[in-house]
Amino acid sequence: MKDLLHHIHRHFPIVQWGTYNMNSQSVSVTFPISFFNSCLNVIGVATRANDSDGKTPGYDATSISKTGFICTNGTNHLVNLNMRYLAIGK
């Protein structure tokens, strides 16, 4: 069974998702399961689109690795916000 899973993961993308709290300027997020080779992309979504001033927040996924990523608040507002992510890798 382990060989079959390894074969599948080598040839097909793996999709993972989760939530985290953006409780500071920069937050480290760990994937539930490490990707075998690499994480190809991370998409993050805030649970609320606009701040009280009407500005749309900007969040960047940086330092993307097999085990996680760092989310950085690029606009310095909307801290302590629940976030969702979708990660695709192999």
**pLDDT digit string, tens, across residues 28-41:** 999 999 998 899 99
Nearest to 57 by CA among 75, 31, 71, 43: 75
CA neighbor of 49 nearest in space, from 41, 59, 40: 59
Residue with tokens 């080598």: 10
Concatenating the DSSP letter of every residue in 51-70 gives -TTSPPP-EEEES--SSEEE
- Tell me the C-alpha distance between 4 and 10, whole Å: 10
pTM above 0.85, yes or no: no
Reported as a single tens digit per residue, the pLDDT across 56-75 is 566 788 899 999 999 887 76
